[in-house]
Chains A and B, each alone.
Chain A
Amino acid sequence: NAGVMQNPRHLVRRRGQEARLRCSPVKGHSHVYWYRQLPEEGLKFMVYLQKENIIDESGMPKERFSAEFPKEGPSILRIQQVVRGDSAAYFCASSPQGEDTQYFGPGTRLTVL
């Protein structure tokens, strides 16, 4: 009974490269959320997705960031042309239809050199 899976757990990129973060929700969960935790700060909401739909992206930076949750496969958070300020822990959470509880993955720690 696997929980939320995220990979990679650690990712190092140089400035200007692309970062792809993957999230596999709990089996049967159709709602996925992404959060970002900057160093020494709390978690901030980024985006809420259901299969093939973005429901709320009010926390996503306007440029370079995108997210998807395709019909098949994991949810992807993509950061283009990374900058040092993107260094953070990125957490994915999932919930089943009709339930509010969000279950969090172990996070991906992105370091931009």
Chain B
Amino acid sequence: GIQVEQSPPDLILQEGANSTLRCNFSDSVNNLQWFHQNPWGQLINLFYIPSGTKQNGRLSATTVATERYSLLYISSSQTTDSGVYFCAVEISGNTGKLIFGQGTTLQVKP
């Protein structure tokens, strides 16, 4: 089956720093989403980005579908950015099932 690998697995930042999270996937996809799971366990939709670039405030994401990777950029990080960031993909032609990566755990220190 498709492999979804996220890196780094863990990241510690000082408040105000920038970071890049990566998601590699092993097959063609027709859906890619980034999520933030906050310390209370809630999953927050960040981006739906099967290809191209999107920006939302301090966050932006880029997916290069032909090279099978996506990047999530966090600029000027804040303590509220702490949590786990998941990338999830749906294989092309599949039935809607999202395959999640193992996540990147981010801790932003004040």
Contact = CB atoms under 8 A, between A and B. Distances in A.
Interface residues of A, number: 25
B25 interface: no
* Interface residue SS majority, chain B: strand
Interface string A55-96: 110110000000000000000000000000000010101010
B42 to A, nearest CB: 5
B94 to A, nearest CB: 8
A43 B102 CA distance: 8
Interface residues of B, number: 22
Contacts of A91: 43
Nearest to B44: A104
A112 B97 CA distance: 27
Contacts of A22: none
A1 interface: no
Contact of A43 (B45, B86, B96): B86
25 contacts: A31-B96, A33-B97, A42-B86, A42-B103, A43-B43, A43-B88, A45-B98, A45-B99, A48-B97, A55-B95, A55-B96, A59-B97, A89-B41, A91-B43, A93-B98, A100-B30, A100-B48, A101-B31, A101-B33, A101-B48, A102-B96, A103-B45, A106-B41, A107-B42, A109-B41
Interface of B: 30-31, 33, 35, 41-43, 45, 48, 50, 86, 88, 90, 95-103
